[in-house]
Amino acid sequence: MFKLYLLVLTISSYLISTIDLSLGRFDDLQWLDLNGELSLDISDVKTASLDFGGMNRVEPLAVLYPGSVNDVVSLVKSAYDSSESISRGGFTVSAKGHGHSINGQAQTRNGVVIDMSGLKGNRFRGKTKPVLGAFNKTGEKYVDVWGGELWIDVLQWSLEKYGLAPKSWTDYLYLSVGGTLSNAGISGQAFNHGPQISNVYELDVVTGKGELLTCSEDKNSELFHGVLGGLGQFGIITRARIALEQAPQRVRWIRVLYSDFSVFTQDQEYLISLHGKPSSEKFDYVEGFVIVEEGLVNNWRSSFFSPSNPIKISSLNTGEGVLYCLEITKNYDESTANTIDKEVEALLKKLNFIPSTVFTTDLPYVDFLDRVHKAELKLRSKGLWDVPHPWLNLFVPKSRMADFDRGVFKGILGNKTSGPILIYPMNRHKWDQQSSVVIPDEDTFYLVALLRSALDSGEETQTLDHLNNQNHQILNFCDEEGIKVKQYLPSYNTQEEWKNHFGDKWNMFLNRKMRFDPKHILATGQRIFQPSFISSRGNYQNAKRWQWE
């Protein structure tokens, strides 16, 4: 516990001028009692200015490493109460989890970034151990976790101590709980359990007014639904109550190939229609991806075992040189190990994949969930992880997937890509329409995720400019063809574009903003709302200092 005095913020006039820090802007912070640290360190500021996308760099004025929930409350309350004049203290606040935003969504210019991960000395996250609980009437288990906790740590804690695990996941587990809940959190389990935001019982949220509120379906429900998928616009999640289930011990992991897109999607849609069936009559995870070059098919094949005879796409009569991989899993444990073969065989008999392309492996449940991290370690060893990631994630209506396949997979992409292209369907009724997330207005819609990396390989098709141009081509194609896609992890530069994104939900979104963050101080990196103290000042020079471009 220590007092934060003005002297700490004015180390030298040179530092102040370098980071454009006016003394008045932090007048309200000089007497704050903090358990953590408000850092002006150049390395801390630099780290907070970067994200996984690697395409935007916006330096904050300072970084808060909270030592308690009260630190978050105090900082946001100070921002809310600060003067309307930018020269006397107006500043914004953005919460940053593990830094996996793509387009600078967790950054802020002329504001403070709260590092929710607690990675600097594990200052707070190490103190906020998950807490197991159960509802008295239903007996359903849950875990209460800090908003900056990583999903991998939630999994390891709940599994090792109690044999339990959250129901719904993302493909990559080194993401913060608050970060994924602010977007949706999806993976191959979403067809069955819904996204992660459909598996939350309760939240503690620090609103843009600096109020710490507990919210749920029954208490402060407008805030609860708004924050889930709310892109950080209404509050900072400091605690989440996550639904748990009994965890399986092992996973049967299967991949099969298709050359016909319509057959591939029909099988995927059939599998997600089984969501209401007993566990023995359905798969537990359904995803897929697109293969547009032969190197990729052998890369994923070698992740199962070392092939002695590489697959040739040309030998599979794909016609247009594109393959589609269905990826499915079946969970089991010791009590069901003797029936797993029979259950899998019965399900596979109803599918129409290329018979010679069944690839199977068995592994522990945790190893399957954490599979992407192993790929990350390999990429890091080759210096291929910390590169720009111009990802494009789209929700595409089922009725237009054939058109999307024709125009994008067999058209714009050509026969080169620099990363996986995921494609899998979800059931709309598994999503709570009261949340802030926007999805297509069809019972079934697909995630199409182009998870590509810009590489300095000398190949023009792998450059950042080329991949960004392709992303624009894809969006323009959808617009021209009337394919009503919605961006997942959306990024826009103007409020008009955001209005179009939210459509019928815009007024609800705007009303929630005015209720819970009326001065627009939270998550300005999303570029949805400009801080109110800029427009009230009416000064061109000050507004220019806050410009998004």
SS (H, E, C) 175-218: CEHHHHHCCCCCCCCHHHHCCHHHCEEEEEEEECCCCEEEEECC
Q: How wide is the angle at C-alpha 230 spanned by C-alphas 528 and 484, nearest 5°?
A: 75
Last residue of some domain: 214, 246, 278?
246
Structure tokens at 364: 């522990």
Interacting residues of 67 by C-beta distance below 8 A, sequence separation 6+: 1, 34, 35, 36, 37, 123, 124
DSSP character at residue 338? T
Q: Are the beta carbons of 451 and 422 closer than 8 angstroms?
A: yes
Q: Say if 298 falls within a structural domain.
A: yes
pLDDT of residue 485: 98
Q: Say if 540 falls within a structural domain.
A: no
Q: Give the SS3 label for residue 24.
A: helix
Active site residues: 100, 171, 287
In this structure, are 443 and 308 located in the same domain? yes
Q: Determine the Cα–Cα distance for residues 163 and 157; give it in Å rounded to an integer.
A: 9
Of 348, 340, 189, the closest CA to residue 256 belongs to: 348
Q: Are the beta carbons of 488 and 186 closer than 8 angstroms?
A: yes
Question: How many residues does the structure list for the chain?
Answer: 549
In this structure, are 237 and 313 located in the same domain? no
Q: Give the SS3 label for residue 401.
A: helix
User: Which mean pLDDT values do the consecutive 10-residue runs of the chain (549 residues) have?
Assistant: 36 35 53 84 94 94 93 94 62 94 92 84 59 83 94 94 96 97 98 98 98 98 98 98 96 96 98 96 97 60 50 59 93 92 97 94 96 92 93 98 97 85 98 97 98 89 94 98 98 95 98 97 95 63 46
In this structure, are 355 and 432 located in the same domain? yes
Q: Say if 544 falls within a structural domain.
A: no
Q: Determine the Cα–Cα distance for residues 91 and 108; give it in Å rounded to an integer.
A: 9
Q: Say if 547 falls within a structural domain.
A: no
In this structure, are 136 and 47 located in the same domain? no
In this structure, are 119 and 131 located in the same domain? no
CA dihedral 251, 253, 373, 302 (to 10 degrees): 140
Q: Say if 440 falls within a structural domain.
A: yes
- Kindly report the CATH number assigned to the domain that includes residue 241: 3.30.465.10
Q: Give the SS3 label for residue 65.
A: strand
CA dihedral 115, 120, 123, 127 (to 10 degrees): 80
SS (H, E, C) 83-145: CCCHHHCCCEEEEECCCCCCCCCCCCCCEEEEECCCCCCCCCCCCCCCEEEECCCCCCEEEEE
CA distances from 20 to 60, 110, 545 (A): 10, 8, 10
In this structure, are 345 and 398 located in the same domain? yes
Structure tokens at 177: 């709980």
Name residue 329's beta-bridge partners. Answer: 253, 285
Q: Are the beta carbons of 346 and 301 closer than 8 angstroms?
A: no
In this structure, are 38 and 21 located in the same domain? no
In this structure, are 111 and 256 located in the same domain? no
As a whole number of Å, the end-to-end CA separation of the chain is 38
Q: Determine the Cα–Cα distance for residues 109 and 430; give it in Å rounded to an integer.
A: 37
Q: Give the SS3 label for residue 493.
A: coil
Q: How wide is the angle at C-alpha 339 spanned by C-alphas 337 and 344, nearest 5°?
A: 105
Tracing tokens 């993401």 back to the chain, one arrives at: 175
Last residue of some domain: 195, 219, 246?
246
pLDDT of residue 7: 29
Please give the distance of CA 116 from its chain centroid, rounded to a whole number: 15
Helical ranges in 281-332 per DSSP H: 294-302
DSSP character at residue 273? T
CA distances from 543 to 80, 417, 520, 533 (A): 18, 40, 14, 9
Which pTM value belongs to this model? 0.90
Q: Determine the Cα–Cα distance for residues 337 and 48; give it in Å rounded to an integer.
A: 47
Structure tokens at 192: 């069955």
Max alpha carbon distance in the chain (Å)? 73
In this structure, are 128 and 114 located in the same domain? no
Q: Say if 360 falls within a structural domain.
A: yes
pLDDT of residue 459: 87
pLDDT of residue 294: 56
In this structure, are 393 and 424 located in the same domain? yes
Q: Sign of the CA dihedral 166, 167, 171, 177? A: negative
Q: Determine the Cα–Cα distance for residues 91 and 111; give it in Å rounded to an integer.
A: 5
Helices 495-502 and 506-516: crossing angle in degrees, nearest 10, is 120
Residue 66's domain comprises 26-123+514-533
In this structure, are 402 and 380 located in the same domain? yes
Q: Say if 497 falls within a structural domain.
A: no
In this structure, are 283 and 382 located in the same domain? yes
Structure tokens at 53: 């996308």
- Kindly report the CATH number assigned to the domain that includes residue 469: 3.40.462.10
Q: Say if 307 falls within a structural domain.
A: yes
On the CB side of 405, CA atoms within 13 Å amount to: 24
How many structural domains compose the chain?
4
Last residue of some domain: 222, 246, 270?
246
- Kindly report the CATH number assigned to the domain that includes residue 67: 3.30.43.10
pLDDT of residue 20: 44
pLDDT of residue 6: 34
